[in-house]
């Protein structure tokens, strides 16, 4: 039986990371248990990592935001001698299914992006304190930090050796961050990425690969000094108490259906699809942020975001053959808007800020999910504010028009809020409406003009907010035909088409990582030069180089 990958964890179960909190500074220590790989068949030597290591890191970064908002600086370092991190485990990559490798790269990219944005979003600055070899994915861990410090000794270096050593690419954004973020000259980046042993000391600083190089004798003291300086200079407000993120209430049936308190996931294996239903609030919105903080992780928008994110991650990793996701909502849209309004009205409060940014990250996970996505705006739905964003994340949306026989639910309507105009930007730094109406700014203005007005089917279609409206006669047949057609197409063609259509507009570092880089890595992971019997990943550690087909494709 295939192992189910669980993305839920907590500090009591960590095997690979330790955290030491000291007021505004936290020490994040990578000390990988080499015997605790997610799967059998490899050892996580030299602080190398697999998906299980990154699941823990993702949990840490999330908890740092909500449970430890007092933290202003996070120092990422190694708990092992003479090595910072050797990167993704080669034996794991060599033995993993193609789909697992791609999902692994996607999840690690999302995790890197989350703590990379922590300074701008949450006032938490990440420092990489590099002692020892920092190679491949290890350097990518560091690259996503906001400030890189390297000790100047004979054994400490930074490198991206994937191309010469493994015939693959630095797949968690290394190439892009070197040129776009660190602005390393591309000819020097070419030399760097073709050099197995990497770059040490002053040259690493001169080329822009790190921010600071310190003699080994003064390294630890200088890192502590720099962390204290950054914390003192931080504009992040002082916060005494965070909230605890308790385990999710999730049940998995024998057929694989998922049930949470606010999310239901129903699998249709014969149809190759899954239906995800998000529920509206069970109670009225809190009147102020003190009441929201008292609700803790049970406050509606935070609980819904956590459950929806877990469902997305579970389905991406464990249900690859369910290629069509049908997204529905049910509840009171006015209450959804009221809960969002509390956060928008108080976004200078640390918790409201974190909830809004969390929803931004969850929606981005949906944007880059390689599944066909469709939203159904049914009677009784609650597409308001942040939940209305789902309508512009998906590939198509269908909306019920007028009354349906025997259906006494409230008439389907979309409720725009001010949150739809800047609170949840995509990876291209545009809102979903700006992306939807690229080159047609007046359409965005028209949508903004109807904030607060329930938009029934005909008006929603006129504004371009849904793909198609259908009456009682056509609804079931049209939805059935669409779902059957979508499931009949090549999954590969669908993934390529959808990924290209979802990200219109300007290219950013993030779209390059998830679009261009991921597409190339996906293709390279299928090529015999990398994964064939004589490919570099299979021959790694044998003393033999990979045998390459010289044809350029």
DSSP state of 88: B
The fourth-level CATH superfamily of domain 13-233 is 2-enoyl-CoA Hydratase; Chain A, domain 1 (3.90.226.10)
> What is the pLDDT at residue 203?
97
Q: What is the pLDDT, as a whole number, of residue 515?
A: 85
Strand arrangement of the beta sheet that strand 324-330 belongs to: 251-252, 258-259, 263-268, 273-279, 324-330, 372-377, 396-400, 468-470
pLDDT of residue 167: 92
Q: What is the pLDDT of residue 517?
A: 85
pLDDT of residue 553: 84
Q: Is 432 helix (H, G, I), strand (E, B) or coil?
A: helix
Q: What does residue 404 show for φ and ψ, rounded to 5 degrees?
A: -115, 135
Q: Give me the pLDDT at residue 522, please.
A: 86
Which pTM does this prediction carry?
0.97
Backbone region of residue 23 per phi and psi (left: phi > 0; alpha: psi in -120 to 50; beta: other values): left
Dist CA 357 CA 360 (whole Å): 5
Contact predicate 199/205, CB 8 Å: no
Sequence ranges of the domains in the chain: 13-233, 251-499
**CATH classification for the domain delimited by 251-499, as one of 1.10.1750.10, 3.90.226.10, 2.60.40.420, 3.30.420.40:** 3.90.226.10
For residue 65, which of 23, 29, 115 has the smallest C-alpha distance? 115
Q: Provide the token pair at 67.
A: 């449970």
Using the structure block, give the residue that is written with the tokens 């600083």.
Answer: 205
Q: Which stretches of 117-241 are assigned E, i.e. beta strand?
A: 125-130, 133-135, 147-152, 157-159, 199-200, 212-215
pLDDT reported for residue 543? 87
Residue 44, pLDDT score: 97
Q: Is 401 exposed, middle or buried (0-12, 13-18, 19+ CB in 10 A)?
A: buried
Print pLDDT tens along the chain (553 aa): 478 999 999 999 999 999 999 999 999 999 999 999 999 999 999 999 999 999 999 999 999 999 999 999 999 999 999 999 999 999 998 889 999 999 999 999 999 999 999 999 999 999 999 999 999 999 999 999 999 999 999 899 999 999 999 999 998 899 999 999 999 999 999 999 999 999 999 999 999 999 999 999 999 999 999 999 999 999 999 998 999 999 999 999 999 999 999 999 999 999 999 999 999 999 999 999 999 999 999 999 999 999 999 999 999 999 999 999 999 999 999 999 999 999 999 999 999 999 999 999 999 999 999 999 999 999 999 999 999 999 999 999 999 999 999 999 999 999 999 999 999 999 999 999 999 999 999 999 999 999 999 999 999 999 999 999 999 999 999 999 999 999 999 999 999 999 999 988 999 999 999 988 888 888 898 899 999 999 998 888 888 889 999 999 8
Confirm whether 13-233 and 251-499 share one CATH topology: yes
Q: How far is CA 451 from its chain centroid? A: 29
Strands 17-22 and 25-30: antiparallel
* H-helix segments, 489-533: 491-502, 509-511, 518-524, 528-531
What's the pLDDT score for residue 394? 98
Supply the pLDDT for residue 1: 41
């Amino acid at each position: 039986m295939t192992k189910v990958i669980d993305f839920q964890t907590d500090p009591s179960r960590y095997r690979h990371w330790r955290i030491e909190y000291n007021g505004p500074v936290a020490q994040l220590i990578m000390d990988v248990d080499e015997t605790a790989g997610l799967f059998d068949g490899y050892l996580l030597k030299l602080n190398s990592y697999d998906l299980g290591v990154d699941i823990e890191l993702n949990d840490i970064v999330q908890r740092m935001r909500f449970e430890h908002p007092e933290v202003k600086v996070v120092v990422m370092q190694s708990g092992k001698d003479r090595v910072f991190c050797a990167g993704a485990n080669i034996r794991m990559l060599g033995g993993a299914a193609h789909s697992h490798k791609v999902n692994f790269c996607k999840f690690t990219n999302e995790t890197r992006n989350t703590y990379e944005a922590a300074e701008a979003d949450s006032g938490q600055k990440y420092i990489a304190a590099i002692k020892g070899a920092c190679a491949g994915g290890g350097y990518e861990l560091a690259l996503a930090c906001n400030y890189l410090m390297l000790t100047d000794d004979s054994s400490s270096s930074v490198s991206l050796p994937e191309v010469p050593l493994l015939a693959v690419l630095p797949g968690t954004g290394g190439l892009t961050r070197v040129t776009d973020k660190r602005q390393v000259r591309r000819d020097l980046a070419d030399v760097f990425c073709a050099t197995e042993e990497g770059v040490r000391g002053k040259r690493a600083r001169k080329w822009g690969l790190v921010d600071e190089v310190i003699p080994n004798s003064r390294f630890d003291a200088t890192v502590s000094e720099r962390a204290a300086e950054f914390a003192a200079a931080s504009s992040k407000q002082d916060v005494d108490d965070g909230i605890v993120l308790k385990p999710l209430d999730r049940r998995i049936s024998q057929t694989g259906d998922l049930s949470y308190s606010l999310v239901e996931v129903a699998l249709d294996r014969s149809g190759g699809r899954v239906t995800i239903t998000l529920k509206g609030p069970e109670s009225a919105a809190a009147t102020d942020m003190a009441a929201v903080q008292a609700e803790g992780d049970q406050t509606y928008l935070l609980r819904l975001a956590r459950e929806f994110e877990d469902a997305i991650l579970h389905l991406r990793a464990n249900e690859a053959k369910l290629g069509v996701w049908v997204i529905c909502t049910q509840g009171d849209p006015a209450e959804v808007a009221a809960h969002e309004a509390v956060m928008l009205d108080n976004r200078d409060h640390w918790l409201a800020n974190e909830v809004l940014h969390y929803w931004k990250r969850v929606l981005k996970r949906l944007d880059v999910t390689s599944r066909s996505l469709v939203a159904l705006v049914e009677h009784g739905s609650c597409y308001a504010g942040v939940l209305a964003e789902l309508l512009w994340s998906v590939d198509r949306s269908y909306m019920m028009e007028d009354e349906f026989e025997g259906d006494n639910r409230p008439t389907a309507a979309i409720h725009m809020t001010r949150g739809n105009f800047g609170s949840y930007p995509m990876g291209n730094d545009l809102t979903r409406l700006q992306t939807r109406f690229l080159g047609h700014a007046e359409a965005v203005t028209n949508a903004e003009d109807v904030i607060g007005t329930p938009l029934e089917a005909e008006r929603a279609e006129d504004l371009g907010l849904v793909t198609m409206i259908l009456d009682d006669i056509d609804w079931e047949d049209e939805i059935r035909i669409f779902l059957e057609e979508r499931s009949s197409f090549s999954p590969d063609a669908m993934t390529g088409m959808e990924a290209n259509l979802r990200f219109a507009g300007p290219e950013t570092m993030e779209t390059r990582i998830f679009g261009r880089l991921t597409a190339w890595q996906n293709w390279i992971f299928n090529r015999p030069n990398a994964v064939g019997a004589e490919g570099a990943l299979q021959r790694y550690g044998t003393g033999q180089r990979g045998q390459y087909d010289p044809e350029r494709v």
